[in-house]
Amino acid sequence: MKSYEGETFASSIMATLFTSESVSAGHPDKVCDAISDAIVDACLSIDPMSRVAVETMVKGKSDKAIIILAGEVSLSGKPPNYEKIARDTAAKIGYTSHEIGMDATSQELCDVQVHITTQSPNISQGVDGDSDDDVGAGDQGMMFGYACNETEFEDELSGRYFPLPAALAQRICRRLDMIVQNNEIPWIRPDGKSQVTVEYDDSGNPSHVHTVVVAAQHDSKLKDRFDGSEESEHRFVTDEIRKHVVEHAIPSHWLRNGYRLVVNGTGRFADPGGPYSDAGITGRKIIVDTYGGMGRHGGGAFSGKDPTKVDRSAAYYSRWAAKHIVASGLATRCEIQVAYVIGVSQPVSLHVNSFGTGSVSDKELEQKINTVFDFRPSAIVRDLKLNEPRYSITSSGGHFGRPYDSEGHFEWERLDENRINALKSN
């Protein structure tokens, strides 16, 4: 049986553990999400009222890679160059070499197929209107928003109100992305994954990180530094990932009890990887995109969709409302479910669950939320400024639990003191 450094079985038999994963920007599914969201941003830059629903598929092969774009776009103005967007986005992520999995810059080594039509008139008649009551949801379905106080036990992550395992897994992958973008470690490639297991105490509060798993694609020639020894290569990769990724990304507070680290569990993750080793499709990482499995998900993907699609916009708004509930001190955990009928503005239902942590009943929380937040689709778009082209940054690293910035990214993570005060007083 293979074992790993820091492995401790006996002490953890009775422990309460929870695990979340994340993937890097170069994971094939995330490449697809990035291309689809880059198309959304390009369309919204031309026409803020654009209607976009675009899916992407990528696959690398021995002779060449292929990128397929399919979906619906309606806008006022000349459509963007979809092929160029796809190539530029994949190249920016790092796929500029056929040897590592895909060369998106090469016409000979990468084909791009475009199959994009206009939005169905039966859909558009339900989402176009002159008032908040006229503008209906772009589809039926249910969406969830979630928040908790697990990141509020130490300063570095405070203000996120997010499940700790998911927050840490996301930080590891964002660190891998940063290393690739800045070429800090030249042998690390764009494709990667992380997984973080957190141990919880008897009160249900996070205690410390128990296990970290990282998969990082690397240069196939790396073992040549070690006379061809894959074992020596693996020890080196593990040490570098520990120092430059894991202990850089995870605050020391959560590592104080020691942790088990597993890097490239099969021993190697060498070129070619990325789209060559695994086909990618838009919307296949919805748990990675949300709460790492700790909060529920309605099933609809985010990337490639304009904000009339409530799969995306209502999930953002539900997160915003849940975060305000926890930040106001009304609960330490809050999950909100909202559901819609296509073409109808008012939600068909709104459900709140504080898991017994609320200072008032869940019914009272629901009443407060309905008083302070407007879940009609056009109000959601207005409150969160969702017609602005700021979606590309969300395509990797998680859609939630990330800091709102001065440029308006992650508007649904911004805390509004007026709404917090209104929740407390209503």
| pLDDT per position as a tens digit, 140-164 | 999 999 999 999 999 999 999 999 9
Residue 71 forms part of a structural domain: yes
Whether pLDDT at 121 is above 80: no
Per-residue tokens: 237 = 């990769």
Active-site residues, by number, are 27, 29-30, 55, 72, 193, 269, 278-279, 284-285, 305, 309, 311
Confidence at 1, pLDDT banded by 50, 70, 90:
very low
Band (10; pLDDT cuts 50, 70, 90) = very low
pLDDT at residue number 11: 47
272 upstream amide cis, omega within 30 of 0:
yes
pLDDT in tens, 361-417: 999 999 999 999 999 999 999 999 999 999 999 999 999 999 999 888 999 999 999
Beta-bridged to residue 14, according to DSSP, are none
What is the band of 25 on the pLDDT scale with cuts at 50, 70, 90? very high
| CA pair distance 105, 174, nearest whole angstrom | 24
Residue 377, classed as helix, strand or coil, is helix
Does residue 73 belong to any structural domain of this protein?
yes
Look-up: residue for tokens 């061809």?
A: 228
Dist CA 367 CA 234 (whole Å) = 55
Per-residue pLDDT, 120:
67
What distance separates the 2 farthest-apart alpha carbons in the chain? 70
- 347 shares its domain with 386: yes
Q: Indicate if 288 and 269 belong to the same structural domain.
A: no
First-last CA distance in the chain: 58
- pLDDT tens-place string over residues 46-68: 999 999 999 999 999 999 999 99
Average pLDDT, the chain: 94
- Among residues 253, 279, 305, the one where a domain terminates is 279
CATH number of the domain at 327, please.
3.30.300.10
Q: Which residues have a Cβ under 8 Å from the Cβ of 121 and sit 6 or more positions away?
A: none
Q: Are residues 199 and 322 in the same domain?
A: no
Task: Verify that 337 and 224 share a domain, yes or no.
Answer: no
* Angle formed at CA 368 by CA 365 and CA 374, multiple of 5 degrees: 120
The pLDDT score that the predictor gives to residue 15 is: 77
Bridging pattern class, strands 51-60 and 65-74: antiparallel
Map tokens 């038999």 to a residue. 13
Mean pLDDT on 346-370? 97
Q: Answer yes or no: do 314 and 267 share one domain.
A: no
* DSSP 8-state code for residue 28: H
pTM attached to this predicted model: 0.94
Tens digit of each residue's pLDDT (9 = 90 or more) over 170-189: 999 999 999 999 999 999 99
- Does some domain include residue 156? no
Whether residues 122 and 184 fall in one domain? no
Q: Is residue 161 part of a domain?
A: no
Do 246 and 185 lie in one domain? The reply is: yes
Q: Is the pLDDT at 319 greater than 90, yes or no?
A: yes
Tally of domains in the chain:
3
Residue 35 belongs to a domain:
yes
Which range, of 4-18, 234-248, 294-308, 390-404, averages the lowest pLDDT? Answer: 4-18
Same domain for 266 and 206 = yes
Among the candidates 127, 156, 183, a domain finishes at 127
State the average pLDDT over residues 302-325: 97
Task: Judge whether residue 6 has pLDDT over 90.
Answer: no
Question: Is there a single domain that holds both residue 47 and residue 15?
Answer: no
Mean pLDDT over 111-117 rounds to: 97
Is the residue at 2 inside a domain? no
Looking at residue 132, its pLDDT comes to 75
Please give the pLDDT value at position 125: 56
Lowest mean pLDDT among 38-42, 115-119, 256-260, 322-326: 115-119
Average pLDDT (301-312) is 96
Do residues 8 and 209 touch, judged by C-beta distance below 8 A?
A: no
Report which of residues 132 and 59 the model is more confident about.
Answer: 59
Q: How high is the pLDDT of residue 105?
A: 98
Which of the 8 DSSP states describes residue 351? E
What type of residue is 325? I
Render the burial of 356-393: b for 16+ CB within 10 Å, e for the rest.
eebeeebeebeebbeebbbbbbbbbbebbebbbbbbbb
pLDDT given for residue 123 in this prediction: 58
Share of the chain above pLDDT 70, in %: 94
The bridge status of strand 333-340 relative to strand 349-353 is: antiparallel
Residue 326 falls inside a structural domain? yes
Contact 93, 103 (CB under 8 A): no
Amino acid occupying residue 101: G
Q: Where are the alpha helices (DSSP H) in 278-361?
A: 286-289, 310-327
pLDDT for the residue numbered 188:
98
- pLDDT at position 50: 94
**Cα-trace Rg, the chain:** 22
- For residues 20-40, average pLDDT: 98
CA distance 277 to 101: 7
Residue range(s) defining the domain that contains residue 319: 141-147+283-425
Q: Which pLDDT score, from 0 to 100, does residue 126 have?
A: 57
